A and B are shown apart, each in its own frame.
Chain A
Amino acid sequence: MRRRRAPSGHDMTCRQAVALVTDYLDGALTGEQAALFRAHLAECPHCTEHLAQIRVTVAATGQVGIDDLDPLARADLIDLYRRWRAGT
């Protein structure tokens, strides 16, 4: 029978932890993987920083494209809609 013990930070390497960041943030890791990942992070300031950087990256990317609709495109669309409503 396998001995059960709490995962330690050294059960996962930094390379493995960094490779799993996206899966972790998506909640796609199995319970066991997530426990290993968290144990690694608890002992590794570098991977903790990397995860923080990825969170900042996602937030920064969310700032992109809050631009309004191009005015010309908008006029085209309204025109399109009017013609459709008029049944032409």
Chain B
Amino acid sequence: MLVERHHPAMVRLALGYVRSRAVAEEVAQDAWLGLLRGLDGFEGRASLRTWLFQIVVNRAISTGRREHRYLPVDDRELENDDGAFSQDGWWMTPPAHWADLAVDRIAARDVADRIQDLISRLPAGQRQVVTLRDVEGLPSVEVCLILGITEANQRVLLHRARSRIRSLLEREVMT
């Protein structure tokens, strides 16, 4: 069923822009209503999913503005967790090796919960992109269409979000 497949993702997407889950639910429902009424000009050029997610973003932004919540860019977006490098660009402290150990642990429910919690605290741009790309598994092109950003911009945000989640996993695995 279309609703079951897309609705949770639409609510998560809206949560990037509005304060509460209740409002995010409203935004997502509003998008479905738009679809049912055929009012929002779906012309079959984009996939239905892209179009639905775009409606969610547009409505969430206007709702978020009314809530004085929507902040397009945040200074924290500039932080980077890539690691520490010497001036000439080599690892200062080589990374701990844990990727092999982590494979067994990542399926654990509490790890997913912690990642979800971290994503909810990421700056808006990173949160949108990582949610659509890595939680929902959408392709890059579609995510750019939905969010109205360039592919390069999208990859910068994705890179930062993944770096943060990587650090979280490292702490989970090493402790």
Contacts and interface: CB of A to CB of B under 8 A. Distances in A.
A63 B103 contact: no
B88 interface: yes
A1 interface: no
A57 B3 CA distance: 28
Contacts of A61: 115, 119, 130, 134-135, 162, 165
Interface in B122-175: 130-131, 134-137, 140, 151, 155, 158-159, 162, 165-166, 169-170
Contacts of B82: 15, 18-19
A49 B97 contact: yes
Interface string B101-117: 01100110001100110
Contacts of B137: 62
Given A52-B99, A61-B134, A69-B3, A22 B162 contact: yes
B23 interface: no
Interface residues of A, number: 40
B72 interface: no
Contacts of B98: 53
Interface in B22-59: 25, 28-29, 32-33, 36-37
A74 B11 CA distance: 12
Interface in A13-27: 13-16, 18-19, 21-23, 26
Interface in A35-72: 46-47, 49-50, 52-65, 67-70
Nearest to B6: A69
Contacts of A26: 140, 155
Contacts of B169: 53, 56-57, 60
B162 to A, nearest CB: 5
Given A65-B131, A65-B136, 19 more contacts: A13-B85, A13-B89, A14-B85, A14-B91, A22-B162, A23-B155, A28-B155, A54-B166, A56-B102, A58-B134, A58-B162, A60-B165, A61-B130, A61-B135, A63-B106, A64-B116, A73-B25, A76-B29, A81-B36
Interface of B: 3-4, 7-9, 11-12, 25, 28-29, 32-33, 36-37, 82-83, 85, 88-91, 94-95, 97-100, 102-103, 106-107, 111-112, 115-116, 119, 130-131, 134-137, 140, 151, 155, 158-159, 162, 165-166, 169-170
Interface of A: 13-16, 18-19, 21-23, 26, 28, 46-47, 49-50, 52-65, 67-70, 73-74, 76-77, 80-81, 84
